Each structure stands twice: as structure tokens, then as C-alpha cells.
Amino acid sequence: MANDNDRSSLSGLTETEAKEFHSLFVTSFIGFTVIAIIAHFLVWSWRPWIPGPKGYVMLDGVTNALHGLLPLVG
């Protein structure tokens, strides 16, 4: 166990512990960022956020389906 004199930082971690935590944090952050980028790409492929030249034509079928389902729900 480390001496109390070795723990001089505000976090209370030794330099070795701080480096270990930092490497784990950076690895986790990079993994999260990669997963987020893949998820955004897949959602963009499924339904683009910016409409094409015909606008949001795909949503017309959804609107008609919702109007048909609303009487069943309410």
C-alpha cells in the first residue's frame, strides 16, 4: 500500500493510479465515440435527417397509418 506522502494530488491518487485511470478513461471514451458514430451512420442510412429533393415523402405513409390507428387507441 502506498504511503500517505505519495498521495499529494487533489484526487488522492498516486501518479501510477492516475495514469491507469487516464488510460482506462481514454479507451472508454474512444469506444463510446466509435459506437456513437456507427449508430449515427446507421440511423442516417435508415432515414436521413436532411430531406432530399422530394422532401419527407417517406413520412406520408406513416401519417396515414397513424390516422388509421388513432381511432383504435382513443
Higher pLDDT, 65 or 58: 65
Q: Does 16 have pLDDT greater than 90?
A: yes
In the DSSP assignment, the letter for residue 55 is B
- What is the share, in percent, of the chain residues with pLDDT greater than 70? 69
**Whole-model pTM?**
0.56
pLDDT tier, 57 (very low <50, low <70, confident <90, very high otherwise):
low
Instruction: Report the pLDDT value the prediction gives residue 69, as an integer from 0 to 100.
Output: 75
- In this structure, how many other beta carbons lie within 10 angstroms of the beta carbon of residue 9? 11
